Chains A and B, each alone.
Chain A
C-alpha cells in the first residue's frame, strides 16, 4: 500500500520508511513560527523549566502580528520581551515593525516555506503553508516551547481526506468561495484531526495565493493540516525566494484516504458564511434578506494578499463605498502594502472612501484596528465568524471573498460581486 504526501513527509522526519495513521511519532521540525500572543507564554515556561537553550535557532521565525503596531501597554510589553529574546539568542529571522505583517503572509512570502518541510506555528492557521507542499500545522504554547527546546514535536499521524476538485471557476467566484462551500458541506468538524489534501483541475488552475486561501481554512473544518502537492507554479513561486534545498513529495497512486470527495466547482456561486460559524455558508442567490452592513473588512492571512487587493480594487475603482458602510483594507504584509501602493491600489481604496491601515491581524481576531460595536454587522474576507470574533459579542461577522467584500461595501449590504464585474 502506498503513502500519502503527509505520511511520507512525516516518515522522513522521524527516520522511518513509512508511518501509518494513528501512529505516535516524534518528528524533526524544520520551521518553528512564533507570534506575539502565543510566544511569550512559551518563553515563560522555558525559563521556569530552565530550558533556555534553543535546539536550532536557524529554524525559528519570529513574526509579531496580532497586536502590532502595539495596541496597548501590555501588548507592547509582550513584543518588547520577544525582541529581547530574539536579540539574546541571535535569532536572524525576525520581522519587526517595518518588515512586519501577518505571520502566514510573511512566512511564504519571505521564503521560509518549501515542499517537503515540517512546519509548526503557534497559531491555528499555520495550515496555510501546506499550499506549497509542506506539512504545516498549528500548535499551542507548550508545544512551541517543547519544539524550541528540542527541535522536535510529537504527532499522531493523521488520516488523510482527499478533495478532488474538478472544473473551472466561473467569473466572480474565487478559491475563498470554494473553501467556504467545502466547510459548509462537511461541517466545522468534518475533517477533525485529519489532513485535507486538495488536488484536481481546479487546484492546477489556481495561483499559489489562491491555493493558500484554501489551505488556510482547513482548520475551520477541524483539519490538522491542508496540503497541495507542489507543481511548476509552486517551483516558480519559490524561485529566488526559498534559499535552501528541498524535495518535492507526492502521494502514491495507491495511497489510502479515509474519505474522498469529488466536487465540481463549474456551477459554484459566491458563498457567504452567516454568523456564527464558517459552515453556515449560503450561495449568494439563496440570500433572500437584505443584510445591511456597518463595516467591510478586507485583510488577514486568508485574503489579504496582493491578488486579493487587486480583485477588490477592480470592483472599487471609480466607485464609492456606501455612506453607512466603513471599509477597512489591511494588506497582510509590508511588501504587499508597497506593491499595492506601486500599482495604485491604495489610491483606489482611498478614493472609494475606504481606509488602508498598517499590516496587522488587528480586527480579524477582535484585537484592535476596526472593532465592532454591539449590533453591528461586518462582511469580512477573514476566516472565522464566531461570536465576538471581531468585537462585541453582540456583533455579527459574515465571511466572503474579497470581491464579495468590495461589492458589499459599495452596496452597503451583502451583494453579488458579479454585478460589478461586467
Chain B
C-alpha cells in the first residue's frame, strides 16, 4: 500500500476548514471523517486513502481547540500531517492522540499532491518515493515519543 501526499501550499489552515462547526454535534470519528477538510477542499474526502499524508505551510490547525479536527483527519485515513509549523492546541491534540504531526519547513514547496511518501520516525526522515528525495525533519521530543508509544495521553497517564 502506498501513501500519497495531499499538498496545500497555504499557511494558517484552521480547524473550521478541517472540520466545520456545523458537524460538531457528532463526535464519532466515522461521522466527522466524511467532512474532513470540507471547507478547504471538497475533493479531499474523495481522494484520500488510508495512510495518506497531508502537507501544508505555517500554523496548521489554528483556531478552535476542537480535537474533532484530528479525529476527522485520522478517520479519513490520514496518518501524518507535515507542516512548517503547527498551532499550539492542534499540536497538543495530535500528540495526545498519538497522531503524527511533523514539523518540516518548506516541504509543501518540494512535494506535489499525489507523490508517494514514507516516514521513518526513529531516524526523523521523510522519503518522497516519486521524486527519489529524502527530507530530514525536527525529531519528535522524547516525551512525545513516549505518549505515542503508550497509544495516547490517557494510556500514558493511566500507566503512571
Contacts and interface: CB of A to CB of B under 8 A. Distances in A.
B50 to A, nearest CB: 22
A168 to B, nearest CB: 32
Given A146-B96, A189-B87, A393-B39, 4 more contacts: A124-B63, A146-B154, A189-B59, A192-B87
Interface string A311-351: 00000000000000000000000000000000000000000
Interface stretch (A2-10, A44-52, A414-422): A44-52
Interface string A40-79: 1100111001010000000000000011000110110010
Interface in A135-165: 138-143, 145-146, 149-150, 154
Interface in B22-60: 22, 24-27, 39-40, 58-59
A218 to B, nearest CB: 11
A122 to B, nearest CB: 6
Interface stretch (B13-21, B111-119, B129-137): B13-21
A138 B62 contact: no
Contact of A41 (B12, B27, B155): B27
Contacts of B65: 38, 122-124, 126, 138-140
A146 B147 CA distance: 13
A281 to B, nearest CB: 15
Contacts of A66: 21, 24
Contact of A37 (B24, B59, B85): B24
Given A146-B157, A192-B87, A365 B64 contact: yes
B92 interface: yes
Contact of A49 (B17, B22, B154): B154
Interface string B74-105: 00000000000101110011001100000000
A366 B157 contact: no
A332 B25 CA distance: 21
Contacts of A200: none
Interface of A: 24, 37-38, 40-41, 44-46, 49, 51, 66-67, 71-72, 74-75, 78, 122-124, 126, 138-143, 145-146, 149-150, 154, 188-189, 192-193, 222, 224, 277, 365-367, 384, 386-389, 393
Contacts of B20: 366, 388, 393
B39 A192 contact: no
B62 A142 contact: no
B67 A388 contact: no
Nearest to A363: B21
B34 to A, nearest CB: 14
Interface residues of B, number: 41
A51 B25 contact: no
B66 interface: yes
A409 to B, nearest CB: 24
B21 A366 contact: yes
Given A51-B158, A149-B157, A37 B66 contact: yes
Rank and list the top 3 A-B pairs by shortest CB-CB distance, nearest first: A74-B25, A142-B96, A140-B67
A388 B41 CA distance: 13
14 contacts: A41-B27, A78-B27, A124-B64, A139-B89, A139-B92, A142-B152, A143-B96, A146-B153, A193-B88, A366-B16, A366-B22, A367-B21, A367-B22, A387-B14
A140 to B, nearest CB: 4
Contacts of A154: 143, 153
A55 to B, nearest CB: 11
**Residue in B26, B59, B89 whose Cβ sees the most chain A Cβ within 10 Å:** B89
A222 B62 contact: yes
A21 to B, nearest CB: 14
Contacts of B16: 365-366, 384, 386-389
Given A146-B153, A192-B85, A224-B88, A388 B25 contact: no
Contacts of A393: 20, 39
Given A124-B89, A142-B67, A71 B157 contact: no
Contacts of A37: 24, 27, 66, 68
Contacts of B71: 41
Contact of B21 (A46, A145, A192, A365): A365
Contacts of A41: 27, 67-68, 71
B10 to A, nearest CB: 11
A40 B32 CA distance: 14
A141 B67 contact: yes
B39 A388 contact: yes
A75 B25 contact: yes
A146 B25 CA distance: 22
**Residue in B21, B27, B97 whose Cβ sees the most chain A Cβ within 10 Å:** B21
Nearest to B71: A41
Given A66-B24, A367-B21, A386-B16, A142 B66 contact: no
Given A40-B27, A366-B21, A45 B39 contact: no
